[in-house]
A and B are shown apart, each in its own frame.
Chain A
Amino acid sequence: MAERERSHTRPRGALFVPRAQVMSASDVQRAITRMAHEIDERNRGLEHLVLVGLQTGGVPIARRLSDTLGEVGSTTIPVGSLDVAFYRDDIGLRPVLPEAVTDIAFDLTGATVVLVDDVLFTGRTIRAALNALSEYGRAQAVQLAVMVDRGHRELPIRPDFVGKNLPTRRDEMVDVTEEGVNIGDVVNR
């Protein structure tokens, strides 16, 4: 999960303890429907629109966006998945590991790519994703859709489509699942 990966603790040694639910499952569904309509409106008539979810938290959201876009626009929007571990700038600072294998079965040259992630935080994952993405072809344009924008950007990156803007403390963690969005703390085991 991208958010877990970005937390300042070792990804495998820490535990997420939820404190409050900030989006219910139906809130997430409504946000997906709205974002799909926004993506459709902005990119209407585009031949070559693709969604690329970031491993692992962005992938299910990308799939759901594609399903909804299919209902809205009647064309099937292909979905890929991207793991950015080898492109991160904190390799050597903490144990960075790939979460899953990248799967982009189409050439991105000329395509409009919507990158999809669960949580936007420092922006460093997206920076890595932009570099990794260029290995799969020169996209015509890249846009960014996130379920939660929690602030604290460290790079000049902004999302195009947002499910929810959520003010957070730096040391908190946001967890996005099928059942909704929770805010909580990371506890070292």
Chain B
Amino acid sequence: MSGFPRNLLGIDDLGPDGIAEVLRVTDSFVEVAHRANPKVPALRGRTVATLFFEDSTRTRVSFETAAKRLSADVLSFAAGSSSVKKGESLRDTVETIEAMGIDAVIIRHSSSGAPIQVARWVPDTAVVNAGDGWHEHPTQALLDCYTVRQALLGRDADDAGDDPTDVAGALDGDDGIGGFKGLRVVIVGDIRHSRVARSQVAAYAALGAEVTLVAPRTLLPPSLDGWPVASVSHHLDRELADADVVSLLRVQSERGSGEFVPSLREYTAGYGLTARRAAMLRPDTLILHPGPMVRGVEIASEVADLPAARITGQVSNGVAVRMAVLFLLLTQGPTEGSLHA
């Protein structure tokens, strides 16, 4: 691999090789997380800022934990309540942060494309998109891919009684990365308003999986041109039997998705993963949800607690994946290595 990108604004910045590199390095950070002291000195002396213009607890805490476990210093800007005109305040804030000598900015913003704009303003700072409007949330998709890969490797290791790292080597061969080639991934829910869905589709497709979107017409984007999906369906029941992964999206009431369906009960009847539908899945089908989940709407409470549901696994993998992203951006980027030598 010839260098890592400067920024992580969307999944396309990485490409299949970059995604594979993130997943491979994440293995090392998962090992670190299992130690009594889950911290490494890799980014000592570096400073990382989180800049969240939108409410988020889990993503911000996950990124900050990741940075701290890499021994970076962390500055947290809660920028929710600025009365200044949005564009100006964003630029001022970001340039102030850059003037403080910060190495990476992790940004969440309600406007699609805000991190791309920020990356133009601060070319010497690594910018990580932690969710922008309806656009992308790349680290969420990466941790979903990692969670799927971990389950596939665990399954193969059980079959072969083998060293999982050998299995990883075998799976990461010509057949696509980590056994993703031909994997049937069904993404269900509010695709229209979901930045997670956009990143997931890009990541799964880059790894060679076949993605099916399932949603009512009102919760699909006006056009799917350019989306690398294998199919689109409005009937969840028909897609379950041969799914390898079912990835659910939250009905985002705060983004108005409630107004696109007649009622939440009707949504659940058509698109919720109820106990009846969960019984239609193969026993080894994985159930993913990026959280926070609304039990009883997109997923039945008893389904969320099934062994096939990897939702808490996703959360703990989130820190390791974000450690890998920050480590790679700050040590393998195009200017790293030549800058200080």
Contacts and interface: CB of A to CB of B under 8 A. Distances in A.
Nearest to A81: B165
Nearest to A12: B1
Interface stretch (A25-33, A44-52, A85-93, A177-185): A85-93
Given A10-B337, A92-B340, A97-B332, A87 B40 contact: yes
Contact of A91 (B1, B25, B42, B165): B42
A101 interface: yes
Interface string A127-138: 000010001100
A101 to B, nearest CB: 5
A91 B331 contact: yes
B41 interface: yes
Interface size class of A (residues with CB under 8 A): 20 to 34
Given A92-B340, A101-B165, A135-B37, 20 more contacts: A12-B1, A12-B2, A85-B28, A86-B327, A91-B331, A92-B331, A92-B337, A93-B337, A93-B341, A94-B337, A94-B341, A95-B332, A95-B336, A98-B25, A101-B30, A101-B31, A102-B31, A131-B41, A135-B35, A136-B35
B337 A101 contact: no
B41 A92 contact: no
Contact of B40 (A12, A13, A86, A101): A86
A95 B3 contact: yes
Contacts of A96: 331
Given A92-B340, A100-B165, A86 B1 contact: no
Contacts of B41: 86-87, 131
Interface string A15-44: 000000000000000000000000000000
**Chain B CB within 10 A, most for which of A93, A100, A101, A136:** A101
Interface in B300-334: 327, 331-332
Nearest to B36: A135
Given A12-B1, A87-B40, A87-B41, A95 B27 contact: no
Nearest to A89: B41
A119 B30 CA distance: 28
Contacts, number: 54
B28 A101 contact: yes
25 contacts: A10-B337, A13-B2, A83-B28, A86-B40, A86-B41, A87-B40, A91-B42, A92-B331, A92-B337, A93-B337, A93-B340, A93-B341, A94-B341, A97-B331, A97-B332, A98-B28, A100-B165, A101-B27, A101-B30, A101-B165, A102-B28, A102-B31, A131-B41, A135-B36, A135-B37
6 closest A-B pairs (Cβ-Cβ)? A86-B40, A86-B42, A98-B28, A95-B332, A101-B27, A94-B337
Contacts of A100: 165
Interface size class of B (residues with CB under 8 A): 20 to 34
Contact of B336 (A12, A92, A103, A131): A92
Interface of A: 10, 12-13, 83, 85-87, 91-98, 100-103, 131, 135-136
Interface in B212-240: none
Say whether chain A's binding surface is mostly helix, strand, loop, or mixed. loop
**Chain B CB within 10 A, most for which of A10, A85, A136:** A85
Interface of B: 1-3, 25, 27-28, 30-32, 35-37, 40-43, 70, 165, 327, 331-332, 336-337, 340-341
A136 B32 CA distance: 10
Contacts of B70: 86
B125 to A, nearest CB: 15
Contacts of B28: 83, 85-86, 98, 101-102
**Chain B CB within 10 A, most for which of A13, A83, A131, A135:** A135
A83 B42 CA distance: 13
B17 to A, nearest CB: 12
Given A92-B331, A135-B37, A86 B32 contact: yes
**Chain A CB within 10 A, most for which of B37, B331, B336:** B331
Nearest to A88: B42
B291 to A, nearest CB: 27
Contacts of B30: 101
Nearest to B32: A86
B226 to A, nearest CB: 32
A135 B36 CA distance: 7
Nearest to B1: A12
Contacts of A92: 331, 336-337, 340
Contacts of B25: 97-98
Contacts of A93: 337, 340-341
A103 B32 CA distance: 10
A87 B71 CA distance: 11
A135 B336 CA distance: 28
A186 to B, nearest CB: 16
Contacts of B43: 91
Nearest to B27: A101
